[in-house]
Structure 1
């Protein structure tokens, strides 16, 4: 399976990061979103990232121009009619994802692979919205995409070996490390990470220690680069809650029950860094 042209759906930080690494690896990339200003913002972030690389002497201005020339904005899903791979990085919501995949199934060429950057939702269920479940796969990139090396590759129940191999090879071409994971709620990364974050929130909720103390213990005692409450703020508390609810529903086990304090903060609109306030306050 030859992949040359890629469409990335969603120009928020994850989607724009995926578009950037694909363009840097030589792929022609369509960056798609609902509104032109969303795409403009995403392309602006890419431009800023690449300019930083030029300043640091890691690439030339000419190389930067070549990369940006491979990026094309798109506000029409019908543009998927001429691509080899679509990587969906829309909001983490099953109804939205299945709707997108159902539409793409009718637009994309018969040989095109449909991938989801979902961080927790079952690939098998997403694939069921299409008539090509064997060509549907999970590509879970880590944030920030240009920096983080890992990509969890998730096979759905029907994903073919050929499609898996094509995505594994393509992931390596992005200078990423592919790791094969089976289709369970939260996969590996979030099945381990989110309960840890949730437990840190319970530790704060129960008054065991202050938020600063909890983060210091995990940074200095466990050698984590940032504390779990700071990390939750960077991920987005609404995203943390959604993933915990997915794990709780998927496994039916109360060890995945979201902490009431997490629910309270999300209801208050304290979503972390993106809203200016979560466990910490941001400028």
Structure 2
């Protein structure tokens, strides 16, 4: 039975993954080369636990146990040496992920499962640079991880059935719902979501409707909790662009070509929530949704 989990990358997804494993009773090593990022990650986890306490979802004692289950480290070799499962949650960049997986493969125990939280990059390609391709799998958590129930589990070409079953069982232990898919560009979540977001951006680019109209139609007409342009801002426009490139390159189909407006916004560093401006403007401490001046 797996009890020791290592999570590589202490950003938004990594700290969320560490949170849910630790809260579910697993011992977690949260690994990042940046000490500031590790400190920020622990502060975020504590804040999210406090939100759960305020909603009476957990107790103060639960919070203490969860935090005690997390150890932060900056060294991958030390952090993965006793792991039964390592989840890589670094930036969505193929070169970075391949480098990290080589280190994971070198330093993790022989029976350890190596997982990636990638939202679009080929599991088979990542597995191929390891000596254990049968033990490599995708675990695509949704953001925000402590709230969202879905985990998209992606089998690489050589992923062993017993590895998939173990990851399914671990996912259920987290109180999540596993959905198993196969390794093709964008998997399922982003293969369907990103063309929708891209089409919304094209609709804005071509003057079919303004930002508010596009998002309102999808919220009120299609019962989406968030409009596609606001969702793009939440995901990060650079991430959206990266995934569209994966889809376009992987399928060679022009329907996945990123909208020129999206390309320009990423070049201008208007990436959404994380930079304070995308299709909307984001002001710290304010929950009001304000359309960017560029689109008024």
TM-score, normalised with respect to structure 1: 0.99
Q: Which residue of 1 aligns with 2:60?
A: 61
Cα distance in structure 1, aligned partners of 2:43 and 2:247: 35
Q: Which residue of 1 aligns with 2:160?
A: 160
Cα distance in structure 2, aligned partners of 1:123 and 1:57: 39
Cα distance in structure 2, aligned partners of 1:62 and 1:139: 29
Q: Which residue of 2 aligns with 1:189?
A: 189
Matches within 5 A, 1:8-23: 8-23=7-22
Q: Which residue of 2 aligns with 1:75?
A: 74
- Superposition deviation, residue 235 in structure 1: 0.3
Cα distance in structure 1, aligned partners of 2:128 and 2:239: 24
- Superposition deviation, residue 57 in structure 1: 2.0
1:111-138 per-position Cα deviation (integer Å, ceiling 9, x unaligned): 0000000000110000011000000000
Cα distance in structure 2, aligned partners of 1:281 and 1:52: 25
Secondary structure at the residue paired with 1:191? helix
Cα distance in structure 1, aligned partners of 2:266 and 2:160: 39
Number of residue pairs aligned between Structure 1 and Structure 2: 282
- Superposition deviation, residue 229 in structure 1: 0.3
- Superposition deviation, residue 103 in structure 1: 1.1
Cα distance in structure 2, aligned partners of 1:226 and 1:54: 26
Q: Which residue of 2 aligns with 1:245?
A: 245
1:170-190 per-position Cα deviation (integer Å, ceiling 9, x unaligned): 000000000110000000000
Q: Which residue of 2 aligns with 1:50?
A: 49
Q: Quick check: 161-170 or 47-56, which moved more?
A: 47-56
1:164-206 per-position Cα deviation (integer Å, ceiling 9, x unaligned): 1110000000000001100000000000000000000000000
Secondary structure at the residue paired with 2:180? strand
Q: Which residue of 1 aligns with 2:139?
A: 139
Cα distance in structure 2, aligned partners of 1:58 and 1:138: 29
Cα distance in structure 2, aligned partners of 1:212 and 1:121: 32
Matches within 5 A, 1:209-228: 209-228=209-228
Q: Which residue of 2 aligns with 1:113?
A: 113
1:250-275 per-position Cα deviation (integer Å, ceiling 9, x unaligned): 00000000000000000000000100
- Superposition deviation, residue 51 in structure 1: 1.2
CA-based RMSD: 0.6
1:65-115 per-position Cα deviation (integer Å, ceiling 9, x unaligned): 011000000100012111111000000011110111011111000000000
Q: Which residue of 1 aligns with 2:127?
A: 127
- Superposition deviation, residue 223 in structure 1: 0.7
Secondary structure at the residue paired with 2:270? coil
Cα distance in structure 1, aligned partners of 2:12 and 2:151: 16
TM-score, normalised with respect to structure 2: 0.94
Structure 1 unaligned residues grouped into runs of 5+: none
Q: Quick check: 61-70 or 48-57, which moved more?
A: 48-57
- Superposition deviation, residue 8 in structure 1: 0.5
